[in-house]
Amino acid sequence: MVEMASSDWQLSLKLVDQPKSVFHFPEMMPGDVSPGGYRVATLKQLVAAQLPDSIPDPEFIELVHCGRKLKDELTLDACGIQSGATLHILKKTWPEPESNPEPVNRATAAREFRVFNAALHSLNSAYRDSVYKMLTNKESLDQIIVATPGLRSDPVALGVLQDKDLFVQFTDPNMLDVLISSHPALVNAIILVLHSVAGSMPNQSSASSSRNVSASSYSDMPGGFMFEGMSDDEEDFQSGSPAGPSNRAGGSAGMRPVSLSHSGATGPRPITQSELATALGPRQHS
């Protein structure tokens, strides 16, 4: 039986939202492996080279034939793939672009932390309650993540923003210098939360009268935007002692925070308070 020349071997490739393209194998030289002997991993590399604008790296795709994902170590012959077959290209998790945290405006952070801590001890603070409410709003948290460079890659910061009790601990003014050195993106996110809530208050006397925040000060925060409030059906936090146990997740502040499932954002792995303390510990002596 005469083997088909590699120049005659072709596959149809289908990437989501793009028309089919035809893939031709390289010209086969004496001693080369025939197209049917190519491993799936090798084919991925060749496909990525042909479609560099659509596929940044062969590691981030899966090849599917007749509804079955092809294993990297198998050959095309072993997968039953013949010339003229159609392969679908599925994207795995696409890599997030690297994003470094922006510098922290320490004066702004110190002011925000002090105002929030004063509100914690107020018997009736709409500002404090609105901050707690914002921390349970997935859409708002997604906005915070998008607007704060470096936040998405910091699981500690994501955990703090999704747990009221941790948020209270991490807005202690005495922790500010430690946080600036170890979790600058978290500090910027906290500033953004507090600024946004203060800007949404119909009357700022409860939170802002002591600091006279002007509209121009919003330009000081990274990715600044104003929080427009929450829908009435969002569940409120209990307004008891702010340092008391959380009423969410079975009453344990150390349990896994609520995942950010909205808009494709990924929730952090489970983080306990002891892990958070460990993460911050080494920085406290610097």
232 in any annotated domain: yes
The DSSP call for residue 212 is: T
96 in any annotated domain: no
Encode the chain (286 residues) as per-residue pLDDT tens digits. Answer: 344 555 678 899 998 778 888 988 888 777 788 889 999 999 999 988 888 888 878 888 889 998 888 999 999 999 999 999 999 998 876 555 667 889 999 999 999 999 999 999 888 889 999 999 999 988 888 889 888 999 988 889 999 999 989 999 999 999 999 999 999 999 999 999 998 888 877 654 444 444 444 333 433 444 444 444 444 444 444 344 444 444 433 333 333 333 333 334 444 444 555 555 555 555 444 4
For 45-103, the DSSP string reads: HHHHHH-TTT-S-GGGEEEEETTEEPPTTSBTTTTT--TT-EEEEEE-PPPPPP-PPPP
List the domain range (segments joined by +) for residue 17. Answer: 6-91
**Residue 24 sits in the same domain as residue 80:** yes
**Residue 256 sits in the same domain as residue 164:** yes
3-state secondary structure of 130: helix
* Long-range contact pairs involving 28-34 (C-beta distance under 8 Å, separation at least 24): 32/6, 34/3, 34/6
**Residue 167 sits in the same domain as residue 261:** yes
The DSSP call for residue 226 is: -
Which residues, listed in sequence order, are joined to residue 15 by a DSSP beta bridge? 89
Q: How many Å apart are CA 25 and CA 54, to the nearest integer?
A: 19
**Residue 191 sits in the same domain as residue 241:** yes
What is the structure's pLDDT at 170? 94
Q: How many Å apart are CA 261 and CA 128, to the nearest integer?
A: 25
Q: How many Å apart are CA 255 and CA 261, to the nearest integer?
A: 17
**Residue 61 sits in the same domain as residue 137:** no
Q: How many domains does the chain have?
A: 2
**Residue 14 sits in the same domain as residue 63:** yes
**Residue 34 sits in the same domain as residue 113:** no
Name every residue whose Cβ is closer than 8 Å to that of residue 117 and which is 6 or more positions away in sequence. Answer: 171, 172, 173
**Residue 72 sits in the same domain as residue 132:** no
Q: Do residues 4 and 24 make contact, with C-beta atoms less than 8 angstroms apart? A: no
What is the structure's pLDDT at 209? 41
What is the structure's pLDDT at 67? 84
